[in-house]
Structure 1
């Protein structure tokens, strides 16, 4: 395999941080993807409960884990920001690692749905904060790219995180009662859909014409599924029906999953925090499958949705166990 371009190293490899022993300084921002994965799993089981009679206690229990994970990771990262602001600044300005700050804003949006039913005020506050930070980050990332002189090798799947993040505004904000929520959802879908198309083409071209991704970044290939499945959910929330366009989004996302899964789920890909990149794309695919199966009343699609939900649940469970083991052993916070 050709030598990896240093600019394409993931946050999980701590490429932007100086070598040191286990320290909060080395807490990677992409660990917030764990909150995205757990929140997505919560929402998937909630859809399964509403549409197929699954026990809602499963969704509620996973939702508690998602909230606890966010509080723990956010507290740790806040300590890092206070004690090592230079490390956070380097992460934010890094051409690859900086994109993972989108996992923080997406976490806020998803958690606003996780807490639905517990506190309406908290739900609306989290969603509003998520909207503001997501749109702001999308503008920053787009503006940074338009400066020019970007390294071709930096066009990696992580670009899609802050770009597609705006689609999650419509995914989580469909039931928001504020008078301005509908227009915000339309704005979000407009931004997210166009950025997703532009970034997907650039990333696909880089994957075809440049060297393969470093092993540590291989799990991020699953992010290529997200624009289509998140787009499906956002579009259906806006138009309130599953039409031909929605079907096309769902099926192409499923196709991308079939293509990239054999490249991601290989023993040769080492475990790191970057593996959490698979969580939310898989969750979006499972949720879309559940909703599509319900809309079409298809037994075959219902079986497919059940298989995807089971696979998602198993994958998140493995990631959670391995992450806790890495944390306890000190490897998670080692440079």
Structure 2
């Protein structure tokens, strides 16, 4: 296979898996809490698995036939962090197949967790060397350590390893607090983000609410005050992002906006999970509103992605030269 015939898939495309898997998880929780159709959750989860298989295959081939492009991405100060999503997406697929094959789920989880932990250590070690341009500090820094650790905790608990999940939760929780302070300092004191980087702010929503889902998974018996607080902080982040949306949308709707989807689906899932544990307070009112909001956001981003895909295909087809058979050439 020639590199010219292969779609060069960026690692950031794994973000589509996170958004779809997150929405599938929200629908599964909604089925248990409100009796909504189970089929929808299974279909969305299956779609996430298919996207994961496609992106993982193309990304793996990229290292074989377009190695220079893969190495350039890995050396990029911003894009490299998305590589960690390969392991996170694999663990989320593992969560999706637990009810169908526990053995396959464990195998996928181990592969995803080992890759995620290894990449997080490699990338964080590079960051500790310093000499970094503050303009390259964006919420993608959460991906290797924070997102990976929280997902490893949640899926580990679902597989029957809650104690292991608690260790992962700690890595993600304290990593989130540390990176949050660095990131807010950059946002408050450094020059504004370039247009192309602004959609990455959607990731800012994810840590508190993905962490809340993780906490409920690894310690369902714990007092709800911390989970409530993390959801509350997530709602604050969502409101700030809505206030900034006109500024962010100066960058046209593109696959980069999947950065919003994992956080927004976790924002919906966390209060539903609390309902399933018996929470009958404010979560009863927040959960349905946030669930509708998550479906709306993912639908808009997915529709925008499909539109851009067909638009790109149309341009590519129009750019191809059309050869005219000699027999049909006009006579002179």
TM-score range, shorter chain: 0.7 to 0.9
Aligned to 1:116: 98
Asked whether 1:171 is paired with 2:136, we answer: no
Match for residue 133 of structure 2? 151
Summarize the alignment of residues 43-62 of structure 1 with structure 2, pairs less than 5 Å apart: 43-62=25-44
Q: CA deviation at 1:156?
A: 0.7
**Hey, what's the Cα distance between the residues in 2 that align with 1:314 and 1:256?**
18
The CA distance in 2 between the partners of 1:314 and 1:225, in whole Å, is: 16
Match of 1:225 among 183, 186, 205: 205
Match of 2:302 in 1: 320
The residue that corresponds to 1:216 in the other structure is 196
Does the 8 A contact of 1:170 with 1:186 survive in 2? yes
Q: What SS does structure 2 have at the residue aligned with 1:117?
A: coil
Choose from 135, 150, 169 the match for 1:189: 169
The unaligned stretches of length 5 or more in structure 2 are 317-332
| Alignment match, 1:16 | none
Match of 1:73 in 2: 55
TM-score by length of 2: 0.87
Change (3 A) 1:144 1:212: same
Indicate which of 172, 179, 183 corresponds to 1:199.
179
Matched with 1:89 is 71
> Would the alpha carbon gap of residues 239 and 146 (structure 1) be closer, same or farther in structure 2, given more than 3 Å must change?
same
Assess, with a 3 A threshold, how the Cα gap between structure 1 residues 168 and 332 changes in structure 2: closer, same or farther: farther
For residues 292 and 258 of structure 1, what CA distance do their matches in structure 2 show?
Answer: 22
1:262 aligns with: 243
User: Which is worse superposed, 256-265 or 107-116?
Assistant: 256-265
Distance 1:224 1:206 in 2: 13
The structure that has the greater radius of gyration is 2
User: What residue number does 2:225 align with?
Assistant: 244
CA distance in 2, matches of 1:324, 1:80: 22
Whole-angstrom CA distance in 1 between matches of 2:194 and 2:125: 26
1:27 and 1:76 in contact (8 A); partners too: yes
Q: How does 1:28-43 map to 2 (within 5 A)?
A: 28-43=10-25
Cα contact 1:27–1:332 (8 A) shared by 2: no
Question: Aligned-pair distance for 1:118?
Answer: 1.1
In the superposition, the TM-score normalised over structure 1's length comes to 0.86
Which stretches in structure 1 are left out of the alignment for 5+ residues? 1-21
Structure 2 Cα separation of the partners of residues 219 and 46 of structure 1: 28
User: Residues 121 and 191 of structure 1: is their aligned pair in 2 closer, same or farther, counting only changes over 3 Å?
Assistant: same
Q: Which moved more, 1:132-141 or 1:184-193?
A: 184-193
RMSD: 2.2
- Cα contact 1:43–1:287 (8 A) shared by 2: yes
CA distance in 1, matches of 2:305, 2:315: 11
Change (3 A) 1:331 1:97: farther
